[in-house]
Structure 1
């Protein structure tokens, strides 16, 4: 990968990750940070890595 072909490389990587169903982090927004008003259920979900619960 050179500086001149990064865009093409990125497209190929996204295609490969999509085919492998590993592109979730590229498609989804970062979950919101926990705040003092977050419930125990939301905190447990974030700690376990299952994501936020709306």
Structure 2
């Protein structure tokens, strides 16, 4: 499930008009992993440890 992909890999270069399907697929996989990881962390870490509200 590549949830930790965003933690293991650097952020890919931003998408441009002349990208290949492979680059787009890799970026989308990294982006999904990043959003999922952030959502999990926000729900697991208690508000007292997070500091100010976002």
TM over 0.5: no
Asked which structure has the greater RCO (Cα within 8 Å, sep 6+), the reply is 2
The structure whose Rg is larger is 1
